[in-house]
Amino acid sequence: MESAADKLAEVQSNIARMCKPARREPEDVKLIAVSKTHPAERIIPLLEAGHRVFGENRVQEAQGKWFQLLEAHPDVELHLIGQLQSNKAEEAVELFDVIHSLDRPSLLKALAKAMDKAGRRVPCFVQVNIGDEEQKGGCPIAEVPAFLAKVREANIPLAGLMCLPPSGIEPAPFFALLAKLAQDNGAEGLSMGMSGDYETAVQLGSTHVRVGTALFGARGS
Ligand SMILES: *Cc1c(COP(=O)(O)O)cnc(C)c1O
């Protein structure tokens, strides 16, 4: 069986390979190891291999695992990649270094308030509902410019735009659309690409890939 370090090296080398034709530098693509559902024992080998950037999608689950892991590895950068309820904003601001799911005015208000209270500004990606899917979170495309203005007004550091393209169809057009939206609206970062499509996302300008399965294996097994 491949070790965690082997898988990490493989994903990193795939990222580097896709950077080349796109004339990008591998250092400009941050690999977020998505450790959701995996226990600390599965995370420790990646920490031991030197990896320091991790993603979780639930505040409570992350608290349970990471308070202890962070004691041993205070230099870890923790990203919240999942939908966030406004009533969890304070806890999210305390624990996470970057939030990828800012997508609505009520959450913006709650996060701004939590950041004021904590005296800590946490950079946020604005999640965009790039496939216009009813069941998915994310700011509607047409509302992105106005929402970004609100984010800036609230003094929340804008990390960039994030998307989860519709499943089952070619993701490239959605990644390209997110990149265009970011460019048109002066947003720098692009959080896009998961295990199945991070190589395509890197070609199209992703600065943050969120990779779980390719590093940890399937969830729930
Ligand atoms: C779970 C998750 C990922 C990682 O998915 P994999 O296919 O396991 O790489 C990425 N982004 C978000 C928002 C997720 O919820």
* Ligand 1 atom nearest to CA at 81: 13
What is the 3-state secondary structure of the chain?
CCCHHHHHHHHHHHHHHHHCCCCCCHHHCEEEEECCCCCHHHHHHHHHCCCCEEEECCHHHHHHHHHHHHHHCCCCEEEECCCCCHHHHHHHHHHCCEEEEECCHHHHHHHHHHHHHHCCCCCEEEEECCCCCCCCCCECHHHHHHHHHHHHHCCCCEEEEEECCCCCCCCHHHHHHHHHHHHHCCCCEEECCCCCCHHHHHHCCCCEEEECHHHHCCCCC
Structural domain for 194, as ranges: 4-216
Instruction: Determine if ligand 1 sits within 6 Å of the CB of residue 11.
Output: no
79 lines ligand 1 (CB under 6 A): no
Say yes or no: CB of residue 7 within 6 Å of ligand 1: no
What does the pLDDT read at residue 220? 79
**Using CA positions, which residue lies closest to atom 4 of ligand 1?**
212
pLDDT at 2: 85
Q: Is the CB of 160 under 6 A from ligand 1?
A: no
CATH code of the domain containing 140: 3.20.20.10
Residue 221 forms part of a structural domain: no
Q: How far away, in angstroms, is 208 Cα from ligand 1 center?
A: 12
User: What total of structural domains would you count in the chain?
Assistant: 1
Q: Return the pLDDT at 221.
A: 52
Per-residue pLDDT tens listing for the chain (221 residues): 788 999 999 999 999 999 999 999 999 999 999 999 999 999 999 999 999 999 999 999 999 999 999 999 999 999 999 999 999 999 999 999 999 999 999 999 999 999 999 999 999 999 999 999 999 999 999 999 999 999 999 999 999 999 999 999 999 999 999 999 999 999 999 999 999 999 999 999 999 999 999 999 999 75
